[in-house]
């Protein structure tokens, strides 16, 4: 295992390849947005190797500070003094429900409509969770949350398994809609942004700038849909 990075470096040198672009994103972004964006980057820069990892935002920050990654993508601003945070696109949190739970062509759902419903909760340090959960717990009756999971993708899986409803980011919602679940935004809307994270004291390579332009274009198109 210790030799594998050396072997990859030797292979790159042998083929006269540039160093790989080291990209790290939170799971919702590494699942859908980043693979499509990197595939488009490959068409523009076919000789630019990439390494894609998935981690929570706190680990992304650590990886950038240790110079282990060149670019991070997250749905949260870590507000770290050494991390440059650039907003790329904006969306809204979405409700996931089993197929047929929402009315046909329903455009949004009020938080009040979730009173007393069985829901899947999120475990961990998601910055949006405390404020959102406080609003849900203020409903009468409060939603019943018997199961908590670590990621939005796992929340989607629990909804698919019939465990209840869930509130997730718009990128997870896109995949869930394609998989047959009912999806709609909350009302009032709960905004969420896509951020590019980088080490503040590093110059941005041209290939990363190209990737950022692709990611922004792809994210805006996905969120508009």
H or E element at residue 174: helix 170-178
Provide the angle, in degrees to the nearest 10, between the axes of the packed helices 152-160 and 170-178.
30
Q: pLDDT at position 128, please? A: 63
Q: pLDDT at position 18, please? A: 65
Output the CA torsion sign for 91, 95, 99, 103: negative
Q: pLDDT at position 19, please? A: 74
Rounded to two decimals, the pTM is 0.85
124 and 56 Cβ atoms separated by less than 8 Å = yes
pLDDT one digit per residue (tens) for the chain, 225 residues: 778 877 776 766 655 556 788 999 999 999 889 999 999 999 998 888 889 999 999 999 999 999 999 999 999 999 999 999 999 999 999 999 999 999 988 889 999 999 999 999 888 766 666 668 788 888 899 899 899 998 899 999 999 999 999 999 999 999 999 899 999 999 988 899 999 999 998 888 889 999 999 999 999 999 987
d(CA 33, CA 53): 13
In a 10 Å sphere around its CB, with 0-12 CB exposed, 13-18 middle and 19+ buried, how is residue 53 labelled?
A: middle
Q: pLDDT at position 71, please? A: 96
Provide the angle, in degrees to the nearest 10, between the axes of the packed helices 170-178 and 206-224.
60
54 and 93 Cβ atoms separated by less than 8 Å = no
């Amino acid at each position: 295992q210790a030799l594998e990075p050396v072997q990859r470096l030797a292979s790159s040198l042998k083929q006269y390849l540039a160093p790989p672009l080291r990209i790290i994103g939170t799971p919702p972004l590494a699942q859908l947005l980043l693979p499509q964006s990197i595939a488009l980057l490959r068409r523009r820069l076919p000789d630019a190797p990439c390494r894609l990892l998935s981690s929570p935002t706190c680990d992304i920050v650590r990886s950038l500070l240790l110079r282990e990654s060149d670019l991070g993508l997250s749905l949260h601003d870590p507000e770290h003094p050494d991390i440059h945070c650039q907003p790329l696109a904006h969306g809204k949190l979405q409700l996931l429900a089993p197929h047929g739970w929402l009315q046909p062509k329903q455009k949004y759902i009020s938080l009040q409509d979730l009173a007393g419903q069985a829901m899947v909760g999120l475990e961990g340090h998601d910055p949006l969770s405390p404020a959102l959960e406080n609003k849900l717990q203020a409903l009468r009756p409060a939603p019943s949350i018997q199961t908590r999971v670590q990621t939005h993708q796992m929340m989607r899986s629990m909804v698919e398994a019939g465990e209840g409803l869930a509130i997730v980011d718009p990128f997870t919602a896109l995949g869930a809609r394609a998989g047959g679940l009912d999806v709609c935004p909350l009302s009032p809307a709960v905004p969420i942004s896509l951020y590019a994270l980088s080490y503040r004291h590093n110059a941005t390579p041209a290939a990363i700038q190209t990737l950022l332009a692709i990611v922004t274009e792809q994210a805006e198109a996905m969120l508009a849909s």
